[in-house]
Amino acid sequence: MPHDPGKVRLVGAGPGSADLLTVRALRAIEGAQALLYDALVSDEVLALAPAACLKIQTGKRAGRTSMKQETINRLMLRLARRGLDVVRLKGGDPSVFGRVGEEAAFLHSHGVATEVVPGVTAASAAAAQFGFPLTHRGEARRLLIATATTEDSGLTEGGWAAAADAQTTVALYMGRDRLEAAARKLIEQGRAPGTPAIAVENAGRPDARAIPGTLADLGAVLAAAAPTGPVVLIVGEVTAQAAVAAPVQAPLAEVG
């Protein structure tokens, strides 16, 4: 007899540290029979999966060769049709530039149930780790999360006007190699060149690094720092509160 279709959980692994997983994400990983994970998922998180779990790295890191989305979709479907409990594990939150809508729609169209498990996203992790808020009364009344690059790694053309308001904190994802161009776009739209800004590499991880500056000079400062890990750029008055010399680290809790 054919297996009943398994379920696919689209799970946010958070920024990397296992103690920032949600309890629901932890349980999903611990119960997985097949795990399809992105390149930014840490070894610490992967170690929580059962020894017998089938683990497949799918890539999905900007600027590097990765498995095609169509291949990932078909692989999830094939594993689910074998009756396996499949976890599609993504860095950060799957609903923030994680293609969760595309994957869920594909699986639903083939009769496979899905569940989305949220995770801590990079902007939240960066703010918590380096001691600044993303919104703040009198300084920032809204948060705008955007990507600075298109699918082919070019700079996005539209949408910059929405980030011009001085009381908007802007978090730019996937913009490490386009930071200077993104800053110019924001300044052209009216954002003050002297607006405080911060680039955080490996947000939420023990090796996180904060690189502060202003909107006008952060591109050059970041280029000199030569980060190799994922970077989130946060622009806004709130970033002036960052404790860049002493990141705020919660005591590590044993997970699993």
Total of domains in the chain: 2
32 and 129: one domain? no
Question: Is the CB of residue 56 less than 8 Å from the CB of residue 79?
Answer: no
Do 196 and 92 lie in a common domain? no
pLDDT of 65 above 80: no
What local confidence, expressed as pLDDT, does residue 8 receive? 97
Structure tokens at 102: 């595309």
* Candidates 43, 60, 90, 93; catalytic one: 60
84, 117, 150 - which closes a domain: 117
Task: With cut-offs at 50, 70 and 90, classify the pLDDT of residue 62.
Answer: low
Percent of the chain exceeding pLDDT 90 equals 70
The answer to whether residue 167 scores a pLDDT higher than 70 is yes
85 and 136 fall within a common domain: no
Whole-number Å distance between alpha carbons of 247 and 14: 18
Q: What percent of the chain has pLDDT over 70?
A: 88
Higher per-residue pLDDT: 197 or 249: 197
Task: Check residue 161 and give its pLDDT.
Answer: 83
247 within a domain of the structure (yes/no): no
Specify if 246 maps to a domain. no
142 and 105 in one domain?
A: no
Q: Is 60 assigned a catalytic role?
A: yes
Determine the distance from the C-alpha atom of residue 21 to the mean position of all C-alpha atoms in its chain, rounded to a whole number.
13
CATH number at residue 35: 3.40.1010.10
Q: Please give the pLDDT value at position 64.
A: 55
Does residue 68 surpass a pLDDT of 80?
A: yes
Q: Which of 4, 7, 19, 38 is catalytic?
A: 38
Averaged pLDDT score across all residues of the chain: 88
The 10s digit of each residue's pLDDT in 176-229 is 888 888 888 899 999 999 999 999 999 999 999 999 999 999 888 988 999 999
111, 193: one domain: no
pLDDT value for 154: 54
- 149 pLDDT band, cuts 50/70/90, is low
Q: Which of 74, 89, 117 is where one domain is finished?
A: 117
Domain with 193, as residue range(s), is 122-241
Task: Verify that 233 and 137 share a domain, yes or no.
Answer: yes
**Model confidence over 92-148: pLDDT tens digits?**
999 999 999 999 999 999 999 999 999 999 999 999 999 999 999 999 999 999 987
Is there a contact between 58 and 72 (Cβ–Cβ < 8 Å)? yes
Indicate whether 248 belongs to any domain.
no
Please state, as a whole number, how many other Cβ atoms lie within 10 Å of the Cβ of residue 176.
22
Domain end residue (candidates: 117, 134, 163): 117
What confidence tier does 23 reach under pLDDT thresholds 50, 70, 90?
very high
Exposed, middle or buried, 249 (CB in 10 Å: 0-12/13-18/19+)? Answer: exposed
Q: Are 212 and 182 in contact (CB under 8 A)?
A: no
Please say if the pLDDT value at position 43 is more than 90: yes
pLDDT of residue 59: 81
Give catalytic status of residue 93 as yes or no. no
Q: Which has the higher per-residue pLDDT, 152 or 118?
A: 118
100 and 133 both lie in a single domain: no
CATH number of the domain that residue 191 is part of: 3.30.950.10
Question: Are residue 105 and residue 129 in the same domain, yes or no?
Answer: no
What pLDDT, on the 0 to 100 scale, is given for residue 168? 94
Q: What is the pTM of this model?
A: 0.86
